[in-house]
């Protein structure tokens, strides 16, 4: 189980390295060769080609993303807030792990519990997650399937997150850490020990909570 999270961690590291620009290797004989500087036209052509390749790669990655996460209010009273984290997988891709960090206002809400449904295929908790960081106002959810299994359900409840209300003020709970930070991801299994993030960023990443009198 820990091996799966280690492999996913390596995948994150490699993906972040791949986004950095690689330096071209110099020719062994470069010290003895004198090359003329490229013309303005050649430079512009090369720049256009690099731009086309970069845009093509981005489109390929975006086309692979089909899963989404949703926050739904289950209960909102003067004393307690319960939210449901739902995974939508319309293309029924083979999901092996879900990680979602949620930001909240620690002067208004206090994390109480993170509950994974008993029948969930995601039965393994990532080390140091499924907990609250009250100092920074974060709920950290990280779970995976066990023994190399996957989930292909179109919709599944990932977790119920319960907060105590400190104040009855207006507040919100927000998805946190999309993109390069990899705090909120959905991993599809694409081969033996190979995973890729297929999470679409939500158009509305905030769950507003009304004041309670």
Residue 15 domain flag:
no
Q: Is residue 13 part of a domain?
A: no
Q: Is residue 1 part of a domain?
A: no
178 occurs within a structural domain: yes
For residue 193, what are the contacts with CB-CB under 8 A and spacing of at least 6? 7
- Among residues 100, 71, 74, 124, the alpha carbon closest in space to that of 199 is found at 100
Q: Phi/psi at 47 (nearest 5 deg)?
A: -65, -40
Residue 145 domain-assigned? yes
In a domain, 73, yes or no: yes
Q: What share of the chain is helix, strand, coil (3-state, %, to 5)?
A: 20, 40, 40
pLDDT given at position 112: 97
Is 131 in contact with 159 (CB distance < 8 Å)? no
What element of type H or E holds 87? strand 80-88
Q: Give the domain CATH number at 158.
A: 2.60.40.680
- Domain assignment of residue 80, given as a range: 68-204
Q: What values do phi and psi take at 144, rounded to 5?
A: -145, 170
Q: Would you state the pLDDT for residue 62?
A: 53
Domain for residue 74, yes or no? yes
Q: What pLDDT does residue 38 have?
A: 61
Question: What stretches in the chain show pLDDT beneath 70?
Answer: 1-63, 179-181, 213
27 occurs within a structural domain: no
Please tell me the total count of domains within the chain.
1
């Amino acid at each position: 189980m820990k091996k799966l999270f280690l492999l996913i961690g390596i995948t994150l590291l490699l993906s972040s390295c791949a986004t950095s620009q690689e330096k071209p290797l110099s020719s062994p004989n470069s010290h003895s060769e004198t090359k003329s500087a490229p013309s303005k036209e050649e430079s512009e052509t090369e720049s256009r080609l690099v731009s086309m390749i970069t845009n093509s790669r981005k489109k390929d990655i975006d086309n692979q993303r089909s899963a989404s996460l949703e926050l739904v209010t289950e209960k909102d009273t003067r004393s307690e807030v319960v939210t449901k984290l739902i995974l939508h997988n319309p293309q029924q891709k083979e999901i092996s792990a879900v990680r979602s960090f949620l930001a909240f206002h620690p002067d208004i809400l206090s994390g109480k519990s993170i509950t994974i449904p008993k029948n969930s295929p995601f039965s393994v908790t990532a080390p140091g997650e499924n907990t609250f960081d009250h100092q920074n106002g974060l709920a950290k959810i990280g779970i995976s399937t066990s023994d190399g299994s996957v989930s292909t359900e179109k919709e599944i409840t990932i977790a119920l997150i319960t907060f105590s209300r400190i104040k009855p003020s207006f507040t919100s709970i927000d998805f946190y850490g999309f993109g390069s930070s990899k705090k909120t991801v959905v991993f599809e299994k694409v081969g033996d020990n190979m995973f890729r993030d297929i999470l679409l960023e939500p158009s509305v990443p905030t769950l507003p909570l009304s004041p309670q009198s």
